[in-house]
Amino acid sequence: MLGAFLEKPNKISLKEVNIPEPAYGEVRIRLSKIGICGSDVHLYLGHRTLDKPTIIGHEGLGYIDKIGEGVTNREIGERIVIEPNIPCRKCHYCMSGHGNICTNKRVIGLNENGAFAEYMIIPADFAWKVPSAISDDDAVCIEPTAVAVHALFSAKVKPGDSIAVIGLGAIGLLVTQLALALGYKVFVTEINESKIKMATQLGAIALTPTGDLEAQIEILSNTWESNTVMAIFECAGAAHTASLATAAAPRGSEIVLVGLSSNLATFKPLKIAREGITIVPSIIYDHPFDFKRTLQLIDSKVIKPSFIISSYSKLDNLQNALDLAAKGDESKIIVEI
């Protein structure tokens, strides 16, 4: 089979390798579409390094091609989407309901070969059957949508409340769509005009503060306070925007950290404590609940996540597609096999 290996930063090599065989409890997937995630771009650019050349990618859609021993109630040809973060389900974190922070977690496309390939294997209960009413384009966006579902439901806010989203990459856009569909009022902040347009077409209210950090803080703080914004979702994944969120957060609000900046951000402990502000971490999703919820939300037409797709590519053009994604103008590139 053909697999796309990240050899080193900015270097993708297409190689012919043996088709993997499913072990006990696993199924083999013949992949058809794979989304390029922001984390794939970070790996590609060398912001995080791999121990060895690895097939990256984790937003995979395909069909069950072979079934391993011990797997029941699955069929060859089933259309499935992969859930690529696989907790051990044995450690202290998993046993206490926090499998999303499992230290023994298998991560497809990071610590084992991933989805930018013609075939891959995965435990059967992490291969989710896609209802027939869900299109392929919506299905390939299920994994990032599950991240957005987990993020929104990590906050205490309820439909009818006002929230703010900072950063309109794929996750920020999906949080915005889901929140609007459920009846929240959504304010968005983003530097890319095309992504602002996507959010405002959904019904969001755009804020584009300019000037230095203090000026931006004043604009956001005044607007959020006057509109009783009760949760801010930091989806840009930058130290600057995390600092901005904590500085401008209204009294009594929550800050949900969805973006994954590895740089130091700043906040004033006095403001956080005195004003009763809560900082909430949101990392990936909980198995199996968030994928199940996401499938139901899409199948019932509450949300249509394929609106984030901005372009398509082929597997043999993956390096160019990653270069394009790294520029930051695309909301979601889909690789087709």
Give strand pairing partners of 233: 165, 256
CATH value of 146-281 in 3.50.50.100, 2.60.120.10, 3.30.360.10, 3.40.50.720: 3.40.50.720
CATH 3.40.50.720 domain position(s) in the chain: 146-281
Return the structure tokens found at 214: 């203090």
CA atoms of 127 and 34, how far apart (whole Å): 14
User: What whole-number distance in Å separates Cα of residue 218 and Cα of residue 298?
Assistant: 38
CATH fold, domain 2-141+309-336, is Quinone Oxidoreductase; Chain A, domain 1 (3.90.180)
Contact, 8 vs 45, CB < 8 A?
no
Q: What is the pLDDT of residue 140?
A: 98
Q: Where are the domain boundaries for CATH 3.90.180.10 in the chain?
A: 2-141+309-336
Return the C-alpha torsion angle 126, 72, 65, 333, nearest 10. -20
From residue 130, give the alpha-carbon distance in Å to each of 136, 296, 298: 9, 10, 10
pTM for the model stands at 0.96
pLDDT tens by residue, the chain, 337 residues = 999 999 999 999 999 999 999 999 999 999 999 999 999 999 999 988 898 999 999 999 999 999 999 999 999 999 999 999 999 999 999 999 999 999 999 999 999 999 999 999 999 999 999 999 999 999 999 999 999 999 999 999 999 999 999 999 999 999 999 999 999 999 999 999 999 999 999 999 999 888 888 899 999 999 999 999 999 999 999 999 999 999 999 999 999 999 988 889 999 999 999 999 999 999 999 999 999 999 999 999 999 999 999 999 999 999 999 999 999 999 999 999 9
- Give bridge partners of residue 64 from the DSSP assignment: 29
Peptide bond just before 269 cis, omega within 30 deg: no
Q: Quote the pLDDT of residue 212.
A: 85
Burial class (CB in 10 A: 0-12, 13-18, 19+), 180: middle
